[in-house]
Structure 1
Amino acid sequence: MNTANEPRTVASLPTSDTGDGASDDPLRQPSLYFNRELSQLDFNFRVLAQAQDERVPLLERLKYLCISCTNLDEFFEIRAGTLRHALEFGFGAGPDGLAPATVLGRIHDRAAELVAAQYDCWNKVLRPALNDAGIRVMGRDTWTPAQTEWLRDVFREEIMPVLSPLGLDPAHPFPKILNKSLNIVVVLEGRDAFGRAGNLAIVRAPRSLPRIIQLPEAISGGANDFVFLSAMLATFVDELFPGMQVKGAYQFRVTRNSELLVDEEEVDNIALALRDELAGRGYLRAVRLEIAEQCPPAIVQALLHNFELTENAVYRINGPVNLSRVLQIYDLVQRPELKFPPYTPCVPNGVDTMFKTVAERDLLLHHPFDSFAPVLELLKQAAEDPNVLAIKQTLYRAGKDSPIVEQLVQAARNGKDVTVVVELRARFDEEANLGLADRLQEAGVQVVYGVVGFKTHAKMMLIVRREGQKLRRYVHLGTGNYHSGTARVYTDFGLVTADPRIGSDVHMIFQQLSGLAPKLKLECLLQSPFTLHAGLLERIAREAAHARAGRPGRIIAKLNALNEPQVIRALYQASQAGVQIDLIVRGACTLRPGVPGISENVRVRSIVGRFLEHHRVYWFGNDGSPDLFCSSADWLERNLLRRIEAGFPILDERAAERVFDEALENYLADNLNAWTLAPDGTYRLVQAAAGEPLHSAQSALLARLCG
């Protein structure tokens, strides 16, 4: 298994001269582009490295392992599922020159490496370390007679009553298997009461059952002893088939494509169409089969045939197929010394009088180090203030029981004119967003579902307040969602401002979203799909022009992902002109840095730490008069060309200095949690030079802002 500081390859470099215009433009050569899917898959090796890092508290290491597993699930549900659609519809190669069939084959090989590394980490590293710490996840071979008897009683009384085993025969065809559910395929011998010969049976574990069972200390002798539900099912499955012999029981799990396809132009009501699609999401086409490694080949082939999969979709598992469920132990075990130390987010001064505070100066919030409370308080004060006339807001992900939604409802009940743009197609939050849209409408809020064909991903709040004889606009713009939970674990910036130029721009965007408006001419903001892409290309070209004229050219950007080909070519051209470019890209990056004559002035690093890196910041040196934008948009094709996004300038000098210092310089100095992308596609953990002080960007912000 690779250790934390060994290189990780994002993709083999294609050598074919394919792709639109590749032979005419040297910057379109496929060898200059990594594959987006393989690059995104590789990010999970960096997450897994945190699980292997002994500097990280033990239960946090367990959490990182589980995150790498759930990330892989989502990768197959979305990225692999989309590739299969591309294959079926005959889509060609992307900028990297790789056809969908080739990418799918490489995904299998790379994902198999990741799965092997995950289970090695669990079986050889974390499970023994947990055992040494008094936290035992007990296999069947370690159960004492007393433990076995207690577990058997639990099985009979709490588990067996909700199971519905299904013997497979002409009258009982293979059942529908829910996406990512735990199942057992059972090999039987003998005849039942009806004289039917046993062969195979399927036992499905309902979602209502806990995947981890904690043993009582009186039975186990330990305060933190656990057993996987899958182990109990495999052990006591014979009780479901009395009179027959169980010759084998093998757990399996199938992952299905979860990308909903709604032809928005062909439906009268997108909300109704989406509800219909959601009803069948758990049973869409299969893309992956996980099966116990000791399962006989004949049964594996039978399952592959049933799910219409080929051998390159099967992953043989040395452990529980639902390893991510071990995350429950993190919450069940109360051992503070095995977790990150708690912290208290900073609450800036003036929160109790938000309108007065923001009227005097812009308020910059850096989550999770700064509290999300000022955003909630701003909306709460707006809902109660008789001088507030209107509130407009976008909601992409808000979370269950959202305090934001509560305040919007209260504002409507208090007579404010409230308009909310709810993005129903926020992946995996569709059902939650349908529910909150219904609740808002019931309270009298005007709910808009955005624009057909374009997801509304911008994070904006606009409050219109009467002050004397004039109306004043107060605005909140963010890089992350209006979600109190993620504001505790994602790094994001939020700007609260009363700047009339920004207020006017945001007002016009809301008018465009809720009505039928022409293309806007904004004064400050850059907006996808209209001006953000062009604005980036213009500013990159400006840096190149500075460099060609002998002036300093400098670009720093912090992103979650980068794959937009025109932006990448512009960065290559800027590098050729001598512009120094630093990109801090958490996940997928298809730009190949360090190529002589092309990108030798481009450096790419990725930070993986306690918090999920999420803010998007763009900085252009502009010969001493820098432009600094925060944004909801990554430099991905979808964000720049197929979504509604907002890039907002940080006009206040103090706030701009703070963003540059905290999100750019600070992260470029990280030599503890940073990985650099090499020209050959490997990521290597940054090693501090001899005598160089150790620096973690996130730890520094915790000490500075929460200390």
Structure 2
Amino acid sequence: MSDKRNYSDPDYYNNRELSWIDFNDRVLEESRDKGNPLLERLKFLGITQSNLDEFFMVRVASLAKLAAVNYPKPDASGMTAEEQLRAVNKRAHDMLIKQYTTLNRSLIPAIQQIGVHLKKAPNLSAEQFQFIKSYFHDELYPVLTPMADDSSRPFPFIANDTLNLAIQLTPSDGSGRLYATLQIPDVFPRVVRLPGEENAFILIEEIIKTFVGQLFVNYNVKESVVFRVIRDMDLDVAEEDTSDLLKDVQQQLKLREHGNVIRLEVENTISKKLLKLLNKELNTPDFAVYETNGPVDLTFLSKLTSQIINHDDLKYAGFTAYQPTALDHNHDIFAAIREHDWLMQHPYDKFDPVVEFIRQAAIDPDTLAIKMTLYRVSGDSPIIRYLGRAAQNGKQVTVLVEVKARFDEQNNVHWAKQLEKMGCHVIYGLIGLKTHCKLSLVVRREQGGIRRYMHMGTGNYNDVTAHFYTDMGLFTVNNDMGIDATNIFNMLSGYSKPPYFHQLHISPDGIREFIYDKLSQASAAAKEGANVIVRMKMNSLSDQKMIEHLYRASHCGVHIELIIRGICCLKTGIPEISDNITVHSIVGRFLEHSRIYSFDIDGQKTVYLSSADLMTRNLNRRVELLFPILQPDLANRVLQIFDTMWHDNVKTRVLRADGTYTHIDRRGLVPLESQSAFAKAATERVKRDQAEAAKAAPTEFQPMLSPENQPNPLNYDDGSESD
């Protein structure tokens, strides 16, 4: 009997943008959670602001463009662009109230109790007032540029994400009203430490507001309020010819600074007259105006916490990340990978072996080629340095740099040019597709012939974010995967289209079709009475066709466990549609970023990691990678990691049938916070290794060899002095 259900019914789907706001609300909950260290709660509140800023620059900007042309097609949940735009802004207004209530009623009083004060000018001591007066005259005054707004001088351009003052003036004779703006320069720190107290601070805009009248001689300042605009910052690159892509991206970076205003934030002390003027000049609809009950732009809270001294007890406790000895600086990493595959779980496992993999390849005489994809790298990336060194050492180095990685375009354009200068072959990917897969391939000539060593990951080759994003990676020398990896790079750099892949699955199309097939197999087995469990972990689930397949599998009796940090357009608890699906979301100390896909049919388990979320863009418009974990002990470890997260009852929220996320009722349960458990386990592994090393250490004193006689596992100079 055929399945007649309409799995695409709009009632079965959450709106993507509203689901994202639900996610940011879960981050906001962390700032309100008294179980978190106080200074970390301040950081969480700042994160909700930076999250919202990016969301408005890209997603809300896209909705505004669609609404402007009356785009008629509704999304999966049945909402038009105009309906989404208004609903998102309404929810964002509610969030704004919650943000500032959290700041003013909870966090500010709490930090005052521990002697941390964020002051305003009237509350300063005589010493502190003299300090800000000198700071204004000596530091700020020469840099500030007031901009008049009158018939001869039109309203100035207000740059995206800059703090500005809107000022209302009267001439000293009292005749008429005049207006001006003043950009608060971002070359100075926003949070300024005050003398006389250990942890007293003032915001730079408070200093400027106090003395702003000195910029307008013979005028009286009637009003000065802080405002900020968020503009449409989505990059629109036409890719007809990738040879011009670098120039096209650079040109678009300049153009997007002048995108339409999507959001106007202003202090709620603003007069109606001044707000009306700003609205008119910036062409902002009323629903996009946000009046704040406190400082505009809460991202300053992260800077504040970094300056507070003598309160490390109010931050997260440190832990020691683990690194296997075989993968460290003093051992041959290629020998270690030949022994067996290695699974990394960052940040609980150090990111250093990934960097070491490229470093050793760069100086290894047997290495012939290094091929690598780079999506986001840090501002001072050691991987970039080692790739350059490899090219200078005569290796064939091919690097795909994704210059369209959102908000990292400038950084990636810079690194692309640097790599080319160092002698690397740099490619920019396929027309119309972002290359989001995380893949490194080292080709070596060995006694048995050519051998390919690989690292594949769920996260970026970024040594900075690896400390606070949870990701997973695999080192392997599997021959089939190596052939697949070679074919992927040939596809990215040339015109090759491999007819099939042995072990790896590639988007566009390949990952979608693979997961469809696995879900179809699972459904067929469940209908035959098999016990079938599908476990998936990802950042976001929004692809309608994929959700339809999950609903179909659930209807057939497949038990589906999903850990989804952010967007989830799937609804749970729909009778005979999703009543076998459970969704958890974990928001905690680290940003959950790894992707796991596993299928268990009557105990026959297959486990995969991926760079891809189940979003339409990842499955259709990006080059993504999904790879199997073939070594049984490592596959079991991935499943244990998933299991630990699944049973987290501290930071987990469960998606209910009414669309809300609620914490697990812990009554009678032993508290389990998965991220803390992983951090504790890593520290214990380090201590255990240190204890074993101490036991194995020689008891007699041994003379130290001179540097030139020190054994080198790879038997060549590593050139580390130049780092």
TM value normalised by structure 1: 0.94
Range moving further from structure 2, 230-239 or 670-679: 230-239
Query: Which of the numbers 575, 590, 604 marks the counterpart of 2:569?
Result: 590
- Secondary structure (helix, strand or coil) at the match of 1:589 reads coil
| Match of residue 338 from structure 1 | 314
Work out the number of aligned pairs and report it: 676
Which of residues 586, 606, 611 is equivalent to 2:585? 606
d(CA) in 1 for partners of 2:241, 2:213: 51
Offset of 1:88 from its aligned partner? 3.0
Q: Provide the identity percentage.
A: 38
Aligned pair partner of 1:551 in 530, 547, 550: 530
Q: Residue in 2 aligned with 1:347? A: 323
Aligned partner of 2:93 in structure 1 is 112
| Counterpart-to-counterpart distance in 2, 1:152 and 1:567 | 61
Aligned to 1:62: 42
What one-letter code is carried by the residue in structure 2 that aligns with 1:494? G
Give the drift of 1:191: 5.5
CA–CA separation in structure 1 for the residues paired with 2:299 and 2:671: 32
- How far does residue 240 in structure 1 lie from its aligned partner after superposition? 1.0
Q: What residue is the counterpart of 2:701 in the other structure?
A: none
Shift of 1:517: 1.3
Cross-structure match for 1:12? none
Cα RMSD after superposing both structures: 1.4
Q: How does 1:427-506 map to 2 (within 5 A)?
A: 427-506=406-485
By how many angstroms is 1:129 displaced? 0.8
SS at match of 1:170: coil
> Quick check: 1:254–1:289 contact (8 Å CA) kept in 2?
yes
Structural mapping, 1:662-681, within 5 Å: 662=641, 664-681=642-659
> In the alignment, which residue of structure 2 is the partner of 1:17?
none
CA distance in 1, matches of 2:294, 2:207: 13
**Deviation of residue 266 (structure 1)?**
6.6
* Cα contact 1:396–1:456 (8 A) shared by 2: yes
Specify the code of the residue in structure 2 equivalent to 1:109: K
Contact 1:508-1:520 at 8 Å conserved across structures: no
Deviates more, 1:330-339 or 1:523-532: 330-339
**C-alpha distance in 1 between matches for 2:491 and 2:69:** 34
Instruction: Give a deviation string over 1:100-140, Cα, whole Å, max 9, x none.
Output: 10011111110011111111111111111111111111123
State yes or no: 1:138 paired with 2:119: yes
In the other structure, the counterpart of 2:345 is 366
**Match of residue 328 from structure 1:** 303
Matched to 2:168, the amino acid is V
Matched, 1:402 2:378: no
Distance 2:276 2:12 in 1: 39
Q: Residue 159 in 1 paired to residue 140 in 2? A: yes
Q: Distance in 1 between matches of 2:52 and 2:674?
A: 26
Q: 2:16 aligned with 1:39, yes or no?
A: no
Q: Structure 1 CA distance, aligned partners of 2:580 and 2:665?
A: 21
Q: CA deviation at 1:542?
A: 1.1
- 1:183 and 2:164 aligned: yes
CA distance in structure 1 between the partners assigned to 2:340 and 2:448 by the alignment: 21
1:697 paired residue among 663, 671, 674: 674
CA distance in 1: counterparts of 2:444 and 2:468, whole angstroms: 32
Measured in 1, the distance between the counterparts of 2:392 and 2:39 equals 45
CA deviation after TM superposition for structure 1 residue 378, in Å? 1.0
Deviation at 1:553, TM superposition (A): 1.6
Letter in 2 for 1:705: A
Contact 2:368-2:443 within 8 A present in 1 as well: yes
Is the 8 Å Cα contact of residues 439 and 454 (structure 2) preserved in structure 1?
yes
Letter in 2 for 1:186: I
Partner amino acid for 1:227?
I
Matched, 1:313 2:288: yes
Aligned to 2:258: 283
* CA drift at 1:530: 2.8
CA pair 139-580 structure 1, distance change in 2 beyond 3 A:
same
Whether the 8 Å CA contact 1:191–1:198 is kept in 2: the answer is no
Deviations 1:180-213 (A, max 9, x none): 1000111101169xx9965111011122121111
Say yes or no: does 1:264 pair with 2:244. no
- Unaligned runs of at least 5 residues, structure 1: 1-23
Aligned to 1:49: 29
Contact 2:552 2:577 in 1 (8 A): yes
Tell me the distance in 2 between the aligned counterparts of 1:54 and 1:580.
35
Deviation at 1:332, TM superposition (A): 1.3
Q: 1:454, 1:556 → 2: CA distance?
A: 28
In structure 2, distance between residues paired with 1:322 and 1:230: 12
Aligned residues of 1:519 and 1:530 also touching (Cα < 8 A): no
Which residue, 383, 387, 392 being the options, matches 2:371? Answer: 392
Matched, 1:81 2:58: no
Distance 1:196 1:176, change over 3 A: farther
Describe the SS at the equivalent of 1:283.
coil
1:537 aligns with 2:520: no
Q: Does the Cα contact within 8 Å between 2:172 and 2:220 map onto a contact in 1?
A: no
Whether 1:28 aligns to 2:28 is no
2:215 paired with 1:236: no
Deviations 1:493-515 (A, max 9, x none): 01000010111111110110000
Q: 1:168 aligns with which of 149, 169, 190?
A: 149
CA distance in 2, matches of 1:298, 1:471: 74
The structural deviation recorded for 1:298 is 2.2
Contact 1:561/1:634 (8 A) holds in 2: yes
Corresponding residue of 1:19 = none
Partner of 2:86, secondary structure, is: helix
Q: Which stretch of the first structure deviates more once superposed, 540-549 or 328-337?
A: 328-337
Give the CA deviation at 1:267: 7.3
Residue by residue over 1:623-680, the C-alpha shift from the partner in whole angstroms, topping out at 9 and shown as x without a partner, is 3222211000000000011100000000010110101101x10111000000011111
Work out whether residues 86 and 100 of structure 1, in 8 Å CA contact, stay in contact via their aligned partners in 2: yes
Q: Distance in 2 between the 1:299 and 1:244 partners?
A: 17
Cα distance in 2 for partners of 1:520, 1:643 equals 19
The CA distance in 1 between the partners of 2:473 and 2:319, in whole Å, is 20
2:441 alignment partner, SS class: strand
